[in-house]
Structures are given as structure tokens and as C-alpha cells.
Structure 1
């Protein structure tokens, strides 16, 4: 059973290592001391690149030496007492009085240095951590989308929060303490050698052994520190995904499953903590044992020397104090270095992402002066960084300025990928994408995104007011511009109904708005940008019929006099497109207008036939329900009209008056309309056999997907 648990643990660790992409590394890489040394050097250079840390070293060093000097003063007092207590009391008292003055001066100096040490290093740590966070966040904003495909959000959030906090503590107040401890050790050893070198030699003989033990234990500790980070990052990723999709989770009763997934990594983190604690305690125990053994040996040897008259009691006391206090300084230093080791590992991960070079340049490039909005894809092939299968294969198409171009096809056929390439979230593997004849890779990214606006299926709204969301792409837009954009997007009416109007908070991810309202706010955000190219990616597919109609009206307004790219699953929204490109398995199968593609009776025809047939069946069924309820009574005459529909086996009776000829005529037309629906429903039933072949073909296409 134990062996099984170990295997499971090793598998989970391996999984978490591999799943973290660029942030992750295997155990063999974790113990790479050269990488740790490199990160340490980079962090120290970054720390001491400003004047404050350099100046802060001075009070920290003085603060560490003041307790050692106290032992020197006490030793002088003891020697004075033993020398002059019998022969010259006045001289002894004078030396003791001078020593007391020195102690007061020492206390004042220590107090001032302690204040400066604390003030400076707390500020230094805060600034250092802030700069690391800033550099990481700025580099994240400059990175291309593929960076986030390979680096989980949970891991990045850990770097920005917990890891940054570790670095702040290690390179802040802890750094001041380390300098004081180092000063305490160095001054103690120097004074011990100057007073009694033999005792000092015995003490320092254990230092190399202590350093070897510290290095060995630190390597073991570092392994589990990094494994703990990986498991912690994975648990945070799971927690973030779970909270974001809480409704889906509850809808499928997956609470228990997600709890088990989360707890697996939490338990791994706990196990790593236990191993870290074990090795830390072993290190402390070993070093402490050596230090106390050294102190005990020196104490015994010093007493023997005093008894034999070789040494004075004051010198023995001073040397003992120098060695003891210096020894405790090195013990405290090793403890803080252990904390720094964790911070170095955390800082290394931050530096790794901070120094990540985006594959798509964030700045620089051409700007087209008179941009018209012509789009050309030439033999474009592409696969996502996390997949081995090509999503697009030699795709070529053109959408001229001012045209409405539609991309249609089954899910996974490559439509949305074209949009992401057009936004230059990714670069194509081969081929080229041209805008007004210029390769998109040569264009300035800022300039490009100011001239292309995207309205997606699930628009991202930020937790701010409606006004701030609308002018997100144009921060300095006036209120009148915001209102005008909302008017065009058919959003002003529902916005005005809110108590605060445009200053209404939308909640997290727009939770206080309906789906249609969120979509119209997103359209207004695109309108205010006044883009040359407007892209809609399944903008209405997730909406109900009423919301879809309102959003579609808004989109039709916005698309006028612009180059429009429509990615649609509902084909009824793209019938008026100037050009339609039909995608299947990453390739363009057909292209043309709606009428041209219908006349070909090809792939597009089958897509339309399947969708419209279903709609017509629903319409006919609705007509039958209305006919069932259809009954008009006219009390002025007993004359009746009887209609028998054999196709629906329903009997309808309408009584009418001869004086109501216009009403009768209207009723007849309505009956005729419903009868036509019934007849059409009858025809549809007969078409079921004819559809079997197209159904089979569609199923084969879906299976291929």
C-alpha cells in the first residue's frame, strides 16, 4: 500500500511539473546550483543598483558589532578589578567609570543604528518587491497569447502574490538582519584572535564542517521548496477554474470530484512542508550541536588557563563572549539564509518570466497612412503552441475594403483561429496575412489594435462602470461620445433605466447585466474605437431570440461603411454578406455569395438545408398549434365554413356573416397561410428519407472534427 501511494505521489508531481509549461522544471533541473547562483547574482545586482541599500549596510554592520564590543568593555572592567582592587582602588574605579561611559555611548549608537536599519531595509524590501511585480506584470502585458497558453494563470498569480512576498521579506528587513549577523560573527572572530588566538582557533575549526552541513541540507530543502511551489500553483489553478465555473460545476454535480483534485495537490504541499521542516530541523540540530560543543570545550580550556595563571579572567570572559556571540550570529545567519534560499527560488521563477522575450514584438513596426481595410490570407497554415495538429492548412481568401465577409463551418473548422491571427494574437506557421498589401508581421501592434475591433461570443467586461467599460479602448473619450456609441449599439435605452445610468457598476465580468446587455456594451466599446475592420466571432450564438435580434440590429448599424468579418454558426445572420468562405477541417471548401453557394448544392447548401429545415419544421408545428386554437364566431348568421385538413387530421369550424366580407376575406387568407404551413409540414415529412444521405455526410464531418 505504501509503495502504491509513493507511485501516485511521484506521478502527481511529474504531472504538475509538466503541466506548468515554461514555469515548470524537473527535479534534475531544480537542484541545478548554477542556476541558483545565477539568480542570486542577478537579484543582488538588482538590489544594490540603487544608493539606499548601499548606505543601509553601514548602520546594519555597526548594529551587529555593538553587542560584541560590550563583551570587550566588560572584560576590561574585570581585568581592572583583578589588577587594582587590592593595590590601587582609585585607578580601578576610574577604569570602571570610563568603561561605563563607553557602554552608554555604545547604547546610544546601537539605538540610532537599530532605527536606521529597520527603517531603511523595510523600505528597500517594499521597493524591491514592487519593482519585481511591476516588471513581471509589464512583461506579461507585452507577451503574446501563446505565453498564457503555456503558463497557467494560477502559477502567475502565485508569483505575483506569495513569491513576491517571500522576496520582499528576504531582501528587506531580513537582509538587514543578515548583515548584522555577519558583522557580529566577523567582529567576534577578529577580536577573539586578537585577544587569545588559541581559543579562537579551536572555535573556528568547526566552521568548515558547519558550512558543509548547511550546503548539503540546503540542496535537499531547495528541492522540496520548488516542488511545493509547483503543487501550490496547480492547486491555485484548480481553485481559480472551479470558482470561475461554479455554475457549471454544480450543474454536473462535480463538487466532490473537484474537491479531490484540489486536495491532491494541497496534500502534496503539506507533504513537501513536512520534508522541508525535517531537513531544516536536522540542519539546525547539527550546527547547534557543533557550536555548543565548541563553546563548552573553550570554556573548559579557558578555566584551566586562568587557574594556571596563563590568562586573565577578563580576557577569558571576553574571548568566550566573542566566540559565543559570534557563533550565535552565524547560527542566526544560516537560519535567515534558509529563508533567502526560498526567496532565491521564488525570485528565479519571477526573473524567468520577467526575462521572457515575446515571440511577437510589442513595439515598433510600420503604420499605414491611409488604411482601407483590405484583408488577404495567402496559403496560411497554423497550429497552436500546445497542439501538434494544424488547425489551418494553406488557407487563402480575400475581403475587400467595405465588404462584409463571412467565415462559416462546423465547430473546430478554423474560423475563430483566422480571427486570432488577424488580431495577431499568434503568428502563422507559414504563408502570410496582408492588410492593404502589407504583411501583418511588419505592422505596429498598437496601431493595428486601434484599427481592428472584436466583438466575441462571451465579451469580457471589467468590474467598473458601464461608461468606463465603453471607453476602455479610448480612455479619454467624452461623455457625448460614450452616449453616441451606446445609441448606435442599441444600448442607451436599457442603460438609462439604471438608477446611476452610465455610472452603473457592471459587477465581476458584467454579472449584473444580461447576456444581450453585455453584448451591446461590448459593441458600444467597439464603436467608440471607430475601427476600420470590425470582427464578430459568434456574437449572437449564445443569446435568446429576442436578445439576438436586438444585438443583430446593432451590429448591422456598426458594420456600415466598414470592412466586416463575421464568424457565424447561425447561417441566417450572414445571408447578406458580400462573400462567404466555408471552412471544414482547416481548409476552405467553397466561397461565394449566399445565392451562388446555394446553387452549387455543395457543403454550404447542406449546412443551410440542415439549419433551415429544422427552423421550418418548428414554424410549421407552431402553425398547427395556432390552427388548433383557431375559432372565430360571428353571431349575425348561422352560415358556416368547414375546412378539413387530411394532412393534420384536424377539424376547424369558422362561422361568418355575409355582411362581414372583409373579415371573411382576412380570415380566409390566414387559413390559407396556415394550410400552406401544414402542407409544407407534410412535404417536410416526405423529405426525411431524402435527408438521410446529407445527415450521414454531416455525421462523418462531425466525427472528423
Structure 2
């Protein structure tokens, strides 16, 4: 139950609704207890009047006694029916308050989890897979809702009913009450023992469900690769294996529950047997009436369903606790990147790295070693190097997806950590190396980074990214809905839409992380020419492995193994005959071979 304490703030938030629901529980159970008293009086009345009716056998008064007796029984029957109707009405009100509260809590919890996900750093998403994240915000929250809804409702109902029934029973005959409830301690022992088993098995089930969700999500995301390699059969076999493991764990829990319910029914049956036997002895001794036995049996039957539901409620609580534990693991995770407070001061665009070193926390790979450079506001700087040299790390650090291990990054001569994260990123246009497009219209994908999408701005951004003509060729133009991750577009089209998405923001700092690798040379030149106009007097940072993309930069930095080994403008670097010259010569040779 310790993990479920996290939900107390939500229960407190809706305390008045829950209190009203508890009132409805009390009223409904009150109307549930009264029929037993009516049945007792009716039973005793029948017992007494049958004897009286026989005494007047042969007399004219016998018919009058029969009529009075019949009307009285009809009143008793109508009273029982009325109590049942009233109880049903308040049971409805009970569900409409407590179950509705559980839906409110489910809504709040999902929103809180999603908002927390948004604040977590990029390193968190590198450590955790998407399927697991989705399962915790969907399946786990649903199981928690079953705790704050049905489990709490039936627990309150059971406690209130037990108190009312046992109090009433004890006031009639304490001895009979003790014997009737004698199996309950044994039931408590069984519940205590089964609880731990259910809790452990519930955690195992949720863990496997996350594995199944992750496998399914990855399969559908990579369906193109799956089909290209003809691995459908292998994928089906793997999915079947994952499903089989989930079934095995679920069946294990079902077996425990299957043992639980018959045990509860057996103990409830023992209560009825003891009630009849001990009640008969007490009637013989003149301590109670036969109607009290009937009354006690009604009470025992009223307690049977709560007894049976104890197993189900226990399962709900344990599964809810297991799911809440998984949710708490993420909710208690603090983001690595803490937002600063500076957001009033406009960002002009000066960028400086001072002796920056960075090691990826998950892999331990040192990506940058003592890197230093300065880009004045309005400068066009570029980084080039082989794969794995640390180029993309500079873009990630500049967008503050990670924080440096040593040194500092300055924006307008202020430490990047001082800035409010939203303010910093709002002033920056970032085109990542791995393009991601949403399953939405092209227009909405381009306008993703702005609050209000204006058609003319979308068109202008598309033209500057040299993708306008391609989009217009689609049957629905800019209103064309692209598939998941932009699967319906080519690699070059996706890159250019991503560039348009950054351009439309009109940022003061633009970071392009190898975003022209999938476009041809002619289109690349057109895009760079347009960007030169769009980014005039604004800071531009281009990261590339192609010399053609960066040769017009004000300053070029050559990176190798996380260290800047050369820097200067294009012609000066060629004259040095170093790493940059080798890259340039190699790419020229490759272009000549392609043209031939």
C-alpha cells in the first residue's frame, strides 16, 4: 500500500465527492439491513398465526384471521420491495460519485504523467523504450483507476455493511453472532497469505505487458525494414513467444484467484451451517425466536458477496499497487536538465564554447574533449568531420539536450544554464540529424514550432527549403496527410520539410545537424542560397560531413575524435593540406566517379 500513498493528493482533491459517496454507501446499506428485520417479523408472524388459524378451525372468524394475515404479509412483502428499490437508488448514487471520481483521478494522473514526461531530459528517453512509456501511461493508469474506483467503493461498502450487520447481530444474540462469524479469522489468514502472491504476480504481469507493448511498437515502427528483409514469420514467432509468456504469468495469477474464491464460498457456507445449528439450540433454550435464525441467514447471505469480493478487491489493490510502483519510478525521476530563470532578455545569437568536454552518461563514450570556439551574432560557422567525431554532440549541447561535464557554453556572454529552457529553445531553430515528422498534414508539420500557422509563412518557408514544388505536386498540396514519421515522403523531402519547420520560426540561432545529406547537389545549393538570405544577421551553425554544404561558412571547424584539429575559412583550410583538404579531395573524387 506504500506505493499507493502517491494517490492521496488526488483523493484529497476530490474529498467532498468521496465523502458524499460514503454517505450514499451508508444509506444504501441501511436500506439493505432493514429487510432482514422485516423478514424476521414476518417469519415469527407466520409461525404464530398458523397456530392461531388452526385454533379457529370451523369458526366463522377463521376467514377474517386469514384476510388479516394475508394483508399483513402483503405489507411485509411490499416493504421488502420498497427497501430494495431505495437501496438500488442509493447504490446508483454511490457509483455515480465514487466511480466518477476514479475517472477524474485517471484523467488527472494521465495528464500529470504526460507533463512529467515532457520535462524529462533526452537521456531519460535513451534509457527507456517507447512501449514501456506508453504502457505506464495507459495500462498502468487503468489498473490504478480500478483501485481508486471499484476497489475503494467496495472496500467502503464492505466495511460499512460489516459494521452494521455485526452490530445488529450482536444486539440480538452474542453467542450466535460469534459462532456465525467464526470462519472470518480463518478467512483473514487466507487473504493475508494470498495477498503477497497476488502482488508479486501482478508486478510480473505488468512487466511482461510492457515488454509486449515495446515489441509491438518497434515492429510497427520498423515494418518497412521487417518486410524488406522478409522477417514476417520470425516476427510472428517472437510475438507469439512474448504473448505466451504474458499468458503464462496471467494464468498463474488466475490460478491463485481460482483457489481463493471457492475457499471464501466454503467459509461462507460454514457460517450458514453454524448459524442454523447454534440458532436451533438457542431457540430450544428460548433465547431467540425462529425468525431470528431466518434473520441471521439473511445477514450471512448479505455478507457472502463482500466476502467473495474481498479476493477481487484484494487483486485490484495489489495490481493497482504494482502499477503505481511502476508509475512512481518515472514520476520520482528528476530531469537532468534544470531550467534557468532568465527569460526577459532577448537572445541575440552570440555562441561560445569554453573548454567544453562531454561524455554520454549511458554509454560512457567521451564525445568532446576541451572544445572551444566563438561565433559572434550573425556569424555563419560550420563543423565537419568523419562519423562519430562529435559533430552532432555540439548541436545537442547547444540546444541543451544535455549539459556539459566540464567547461561552459555561453549565449550572449551568459551561461546557457541561466536561461529558461523554453525561452532558449524558442529563440533557436534546430534541424536534427534524425528527421521526425508527425502523422499530420504537411502544413501543420511545417508550422509545428509556431503558435499560429499563417499560410503565406508556410509557403515562404517551403520555398526557402526548396520543397514547395514537391508539395504542390501532391493531390492535396500542403493539406496532404503524411504517414507515421513521414513514411510517405522520400528522405530528401522529409529533410526539407524539417528545414522549413525551423525556418518558419525566424530564430536568431539556427542549428542544422547534417540535414542535407539526402538531397542532391543542385537542391543543396538552392537551399543554402535561400538560407543565406533568410539567416542574414542571424547566427547559423551547420554540421555536415560534406564540404559542399559548408564551404561558404565564415569559419569552419574540423573535428576528429571530439577535438577541434583545424579551423579557418574554406580556402585557408585547403592551403593547410590537412584533414579538411583530404576530405575535400576524397569527396571531389567521389563526385567525379558518380558523374562518369
- TM-score, normalised with respect to structure 2: 0.91
C-alpha distance after superposition, 1:122-172 (max 9, x if no partner): 422221111111111111112221221222210111122222222233323
Query: 2:476 matched to 1:500?
Result: yes
Task: Report the Cα distance in structure 2 between the residues aligned to 1:314 and 1:104, rounded to whole angstroms.
Answer: 19
Aligned partners of 2:512 and 2:541 also within 8 Å: yes
Aligned counterpart for 2:415 among listed residues 419, 431, 439: 439
Aligned counterpart for 1:56 among listed residues 7, 21, 26: 21
- Unaligned runs of at least 5 residues, structure 2: 54-64
Aligned counterpart for 2:448 among listed residues 472, 482, 506: 472
Q: What's the offset of the Cα at 1:94? A: 7.8
C-alpha distance after superposition, 1:211-241 (max 9, x if no partner): 2221221211211211111121122112211
Partner residue in 2 for 1:379:
355
Partner residue in 1 for 2:89:
112
Aligned counterpart for 1:291 among listed residues 263, 268, 277: 268
Task: Report the Cα distance in structure 1 between the residues aligned to 2:482 and 2:234, rounded to whole angstroms.
Answer: 32
Superposed, which structure 2 residues align to 1:29-68 within 5 Å? Answer: 37-50=1-14, 51-68=16-33
Query: 2:252 matched to 1:275?
Result: yes
Aligned partners of 1:423 and 1:449 also within 8 Å: yes
Aligned counterpart for 2:395 among listed residues 412, 419, 426: 419
Query: 2:145 matched to 1:145?
Result: no
Which deviates the most, 426-435 or 348-357?
Answer: 348-357
Task: Report the Cα distance in structure 2 between the residues aligned to 1:100 and 1:48, rounded to whole angstroms.
Answer: 42
Aligned partners of 2:32 and 2:84 also within 8 Å: no
Q: How many residues align?
A: 583
Task: Report the Cα distance in structure 2 between the residues aligned to 1:100 and 1:295, rounded to whole angstroms.
Answer: 24
Aligned partners of 2:524 and 2:549 also within 8 Å: no
Aligned partners of 2:21 and 2:95 also within 8 Å: no
Aligned counterpart for 1:329 among listed residues 284, 306, 313: 306
Task: Report the Cα distance in structure 1 between the residues aligned to 2:85 and 2:241, rounded to whole angstroms.
Answer: 55
Task: Report the Cα distance in structure 2 between the residues aligned to 1:542 and 1:283, rounded to whole angstroms.
Answer: 62
Partner residue in 1 for 2:458:
482
- TM-score, normalised with respect to structure 1: 0.77
Aligned partners of 2:275 and 2:293 also within 8 Å: no
Partner residue in 1 for 2:34:
69
RMSD: 2.5
Aligned partners of 2:183 and 2:270 also within 8 Å: no
C-alpha distance after superposition, 1:480-507 (max 9, x if no partner): 3323323333333333344433333233
Q: What's the offset of the Cα at 1:576? A: 1.4
Partner residue in 2 for 1:649:
none
Q: What's the offset of the Cα at 1:85? A: 4.6
Partner residue in 1 for 2:586:
610
Task: Report the Cα distance in structure 2 between the residues aligned to 1:212 and 1:44, rounded to whole angstroms.
Answer: 28
Task: Report the Cα distance in structure 2 between the residues aligned to 1:262 and 1:190, rounded to whole angstroms.
Answer: 55
Secondary structure in 1 matching 2:519: coil
256 and 414 in structure 1: CA distance in 2 versus 1, 3 angstrom threshold: farther
Partner residue in 2 for 1:349:
326
Partner residue in 1 for 2:58:
none
Rg larger in structure: 1
Which deviates the most, 95-104 or 324-333?
Answer: 95-104
Q: What's the offset of the Cα at 1:267? A: 2.2
290 and 322 in structure 1: CA distance in 2 versus 1, 3 angstrom threshold: same
C-alpha distance after superposition, 1:329-386 (max 9, x if no partner): 2221332231232122213322442343322235x51136353211111122222232
Aligned partners of 2:25 and 2:94 also within 8 Å: yes
Secondary structure in 2 matching 1:471: helix
Partner residue in 2 for 1:165:
142
Larger relative contact order, structure 1 or 2 (CA cutoff 8 Å, min sep 6): 2
Task: Report the Cα distance in structure 2 between the residues aligned to 1:222 and 1:544, rounded to whole angstroms.
Answer: 58
Task: Report the Cα distance in structure 2 between the residues aligned to 1:238 and 1:550, rounded to whole angstroms.
Answer: 42
